Amino acid sequence: MEIKVNKEIRNYTESIAFGLNLRQCFFSVLACIVAVAIYFLFIDHLGMEMTSWCCMLGAAPFAALGFINYQGMNAEQIFMTSIRSLILQYTNLIDQPYNLYYEIMKDYIDRKQKEGVKKNVKKLRKNKKTK
């Protein structure tokens, strides 16, 4: 006899009906209610084919809300996180290089460059005088 145990026990969800958990059942029922409401509202005006397409398009978002799961977040949490990060807490991040070694050694490097220029100027003066 073999007993199946999830590799990660925290991912366990209890199924209510047809292998769906409570959240999935709720949103599936909500999608069916929306589809039936759309059917009765549009059947007289649009005909059978257009009404069936409207029912599918109207029920799809509600059905998807129950099944969408990304990085352990539900659809509502994903939506709120994206609103918070894209609109409310928007910051323009600029990537500018920062050379820590140069900042530490800046005075020393400048001093050495000035000494090198002074030596070269003396050499040039000697060369000009000899010509």
Asked if the structure places residue 93 within a domain, the reply is no
User: In the structure, what pLDDT confidence band is assigned to residue 65 with cuts at 50, 70 and 90?
Assistant: confident
Do residues 1 and 60 both lie within one domain? Answer: yes
Q: What is the mean pLDDT of the chain?
A: 81
pTM, full prediction: 0.52
User: In the structure, what pLDDT confidence band is assigned to residue 35 with cuts at 50, 70 and 90?
Assistant: very high
Domain endpoint, select from 74, 89, 118: 74
Does the pLDDT of residue 8 top 70, yes or no?
no
- Taking only the tens place, the pLDDT of each residue in 10-34 is 666 666 777 777 788 888 889 999 9
Do residues 63 and 16 both lie within one domain? Answer: yes
- Which residues form the domain of 115? 98-131
Asked if the structure places residue 64 within a domain, the reply is yes
Outline where DSSP puts E strands in 39-127. Answer: 69-70, 73-74
Do residues 12 and 67 both lie within one domain? Answer: yes
What distance in Å separates the CA atoms of residue 23 and residue 41, rounded to the nearest whole number? 27
Pairing of strands 69-70, 73-74: antiparallel
Number of domains in the chain: 2
